[in-house]
Amino acid sequence: MEHATPMKFSIQGNQVLPRISFFSRRRNSPEPVPEEEKAVPPEFSFRVDELLGDAVSSQDFLLNIARKIALGASAQIRPCKKPLHNYLGDDLDPEKVEQIANFCRGKASGLAPEAEAQLHELAFWRWVAFEGYADNDPRAFPWLQCLSMLEHYFKTGWTLRELAGAHIVEIGCGPLGMIEFLPGKRKVGFDPLNAEYEKLFRRVRTGGVEYVPDLEALCQTGRRQFDLAVCFNVLDHTTRPRKLLDDYMSLLKREGRFLFQVNTIKPGETRPEDHARMHPSPITEAQIRSWLDQYSTHYQSSLSDKPSDVNEYFFMAWGQKNREPAAPFDESTLT
């Protein structure tokens, strides 16, 4: 099977490093990429792929070099970007685009908090596909996302090589989650917006991930089936964060490993109103630690000491699931 993003691996030391190229067309699509749709010239893209493969390691210095290469490429190619053109995939259906437009104009009233958060999320990622992230050319997004996700993975001290035979699941995978860049025997990515992401990012998603939109069905068939579970920047996006955490942990085998991240808040510090609508369940560090403690006595964590521009603090935890909650969580205790 052809993949939209062919992924090859080379062994360097004790790491299996992905060599990623995202300049090919969608899987099962025989037509070549038109010259005007290529992010950069083929010879440059090949060199970037080589450098990216060499740089993706646990060394922050090398990761920073690779990031600068991607940002440099973005600066070079952005002036030749076509307006209103999605190099990473297609656009959404006209009805969905109109729904997003009405939402952005403030004309979509009466939405439930979770529906509003998801529509806000979809509007954001459609913008990334067409306009890029953080003012970078959208064609640089897969490079930068690969570097970001692997950089966080390597902070755990784990290697890629040990994942070769693993069953991996990511909850809230977004358009290009960490699961896209990890090796594994079986890889499953859940997101309720997967159908929309498949359109917007079809040229850069791989065929090596089984994307699913139904978490309940996944939990029924995948209970205690996975060796590694990833949940990155998701929990505060839902209106039932503890249930999502319980579903996430239910997919792990006993002694399976988890990599979990959420942006936390501190009481008394306010967030912008539009950001708060997109993240309807703010969580404190103490709260998330108390929940994780019910699933693991053996995990490590890190917390940023400085807030983001929206007064949130990056929290990440990784370790083994070696226990279960003594009793089901009472959601009525959430404030």
pLDDT > 70 fraction of the chain, expressed in percent and rounded = 73
Which of 20-29, 63-72, 250-259 has maximum average pLDDT? Answer: 250-259
Question: What is the phi/psi pair of residue 8, to 5°?
Answer: -115, 160
Please give the Cα distance from 283 to 78 (Å, whole number).
Answer: 37
For residue 313, is pLDDT > 60? yes
pTM score of the predicted model: 0.78
Residues 13 and 118 in one domain: yes
Q: Bigger pLDDT: 100 or 302? A: 302
Q: How confident is the model at residue 26 (pLDDT cuts 50, 70, 90)?
A: very low
Q: Domain boundary at 121, 156, 191, which?
A: 156
Q: What is the pLDDT of residue 332?
A: 56
Residues 103 and 241 in one domain: no
Can you tell me the mean pLDDT for 104-108?
Answer: 79
Residues 13 and 100 in one domain: yes
Q: How confident is the model at residue 241 (pLDDT cuts 50, 70, 90)?
A: very high
Across the chain, mean pLDDT equals: 81
Q: What is the pLDDT of residue 287?
A: 97
Q: What is the pLDDT of residue 149?
A: 94
pLDDT tens-place string over residues 182-222: 999 999 999 999 999 999 999 999 889 999 999 999 999 99
pLDDT > 90 fraction of the chain, expressed in percent and rounded = 56
Residues 192 and 292 in one domain: yes
Residues 39 and 186 in one domain: no
Q: What is the pLDDT of residue 115?
A: 83
Q: What is the pLDDT of residue 48?
A: 52
Please give the Cα distance from 261 to 191 (Å, whole number).
Answer: 16
Residues 148 and 277 in one domain: no
Please give the Cα distance from 203 to 201 (Å, whole number).
Answer: 6
Q: Is the dihedral of CA 89, 95, 98, 103 positive or negative?
A: negative
For residue 5, is pLDDT > 60? no
Q: Which of 4-8, 170-174, 176-180, 208-212 has the lowest mean pLDDT?
A: 4-8
Please give the Cα distance from 167 to 36 (Å, whole number).
Answer: 38
Q: Domain boundary at 135, 156, 177, which?
A: 156
What CATH number is associated with residue 307?
A: 3.40.50.150
Widest CA span in the chain: 59
Residues 130 and 212 in one domain: no
Residues 62 and 85 in one domain: yes
Residues 111 and 188 in one domain: no
Residues 148 and 163 in one domain: no
- Count of structural domains, the chain: 2
Which of 30-39, 63-72, 118-127, 132-141 has maximum average pLDDT? Answer: 118-127
pLDDT tens-place string over residues 268-290: 999 988 888 888 899 999 999 99
Which of 125-134, 250-259, 276-285 has maximum average pLDDT? Answer: 250-259
Residue 126, domain extent? 1-156
Q: Domain boundary at 156, 188, 223, which?
A: 156
Residues 121 and 169 in one domain: no
* b/e 22-42 (16+ beta carbons within 10 angstroms → b): bbbbbbeeeeeeeeebbbbee
DSSP string, 260-296: EEEEEB-TT----HHHHHHS----BHHHHHHHHHTT-
Contact of 231 with 248, CB cutoff 8 Å: yes
Q: What is the pLDDT of residue 206?
A: 83
